[in-house]
Structure 1
Amino acid sequence: MNDLSIRPVALSDLPAVVAMLADDPLGAQRESPDDLTPYNTALQRLADDPNQHVVVAVREERIVGTLQLTIIPGLSRRGSTRSIIEGVRVHADERGSGLGTQMIQWAVDESRRQECQLVQLTSDVTRTDARRFYERLGFTASHVGFKLTL
């Protein structure tokens, strides 16, 4: 797997990234691969924020994974900085290859580089495979999350 690179997302990557975001039952309900306009706008906002890191995993010039890492400075925990990993997706034909582990390791390493003291992530309760995956990597289900759709 030496041919894998992880790099910042580019505008030209959006069709492949959005297709991965939409490639499961939950994503199919939330994403719109046929209209990239809102994703273009979001990518510009993300690019303008130095605490946002949206990356793609590339193998043989093909996008095979993506995730977003957000760095959050804070006052709690004695002024700790934390990171949040979101939007983790691995292309369907790469699942089980170890790519997800490599991507999460990249995010954890980058979090350390950014002097974070805590890495957080959430996963929908229906994603039981994802939960097992994150637990295997050392994450613990320590909190109950809440969301309010606006």
Structure 2
Amino acid sequence: MSDLEIRRATEADLPAIVAMLADDPLGASRESPDDLAPYRTAFAALDADPKQHLVVAERDGRVVGTLQLTVIPGLSRRGATRTIIEAVRIHADERGSGLGTELVEWAVAESRRLGCQLVQLTSDATRLDAHRFYERLGFEASHLGFKRQL
């Protein structure tokens, strides 16, 4: 995939990113690609925070993947810093091409480069294919997650 560039997202990438977030049954019910205003506000906060790394994968000038990498310093594990990988999305035309692997491996390498001792992610309980994908990449299902809507 030598024609692929993984780079920091810009505000101009928002339509493509939001379209990918909305392109599955879960995203379709919670995303609003026709109203980018809330995404612009969120992007500004992400872009200003050095602990947030919102990236896109671009091929031939077209955004084909995205993920968010968040750096979290902590006290547990002897003061270990960890990263959390969130919102991994691959354009429908690129699924099965190896792009998801390349994007996640980029995040793991970037986590190492940033001095982190642990990289973690969550995946919705209904995304069984994603669970198998992450396990193939060496991630282990180690926790049970909880959310509370506010």
Q: Which amino acid aligns with 1:33?
A: P
Aligned partner of 1:78: which letter?
Answer: R
Unaligned residue ranges in structure 2 (runs of 5+): none
Partner of 1:115: 115
Shift of 1:104: 0.3
> 2:32 is aligned with what amino acid?
S
Q: Once superposed, which parts of structure 1, at least 4 consecutive aligned residues long, lie more than 4 Å away?
A: none
Partner-residue secondary structure (3-state), 2:56: strand
Equivalence for 1:11: 11
* Correspondence 1:86 to 2:86: yes
Task: Tell me the equivalent position of 2:102.
Answer: 102
**SS of residue paired to 2:83:** strand
Displacement of 1:21? 0.2
Q: Which amino acid aligns with 2:21?
A: L
What is the alpha-carbon distance in structure 2 between the residues aligned to residue 137 and residue 54 of structure 1? Answer: 21
Question: Counterpart of 1:43 in structure 2: which amino acid?
Answer: F
- For residues 86 and 99 of structure 2, the distance between their equivalents in structure 1, rounded to whole angstroms, comes to 16
* Structure-to-structure mapping, 1:1-150, within 5 angstroms: 1-150=1-150
Shift of 1:54: 0.2
Q: Which amino acid aligns with 2:112?
A: R
Q: How many Å separate the matches in 2 of 1:3 and 1:135?
A: 27
Quote the Cα distance in structure 2 between the aligned partners of 1:74 and 1:16.
Answer: 33
**Secondary structure at 1:97 match in 2:** coil
Identity %: 73
Query: TM-score w.r.t. structure 1 length?
Result: 0.99
Q: Which amino acid aligns with 1:98?
A: G
> Counterparts of 1:47 and 1:81 in 2: how far apart (Å)?
20
Listed as ranges, the gaps of 5+ residues in structure 1 are: none
Give the 3-state SS of the residue equivalent to 2:138 in structure 1: coil
The separation in 2 between residues aligned to 1:122 and 1:66, in whole angstroms, is 16
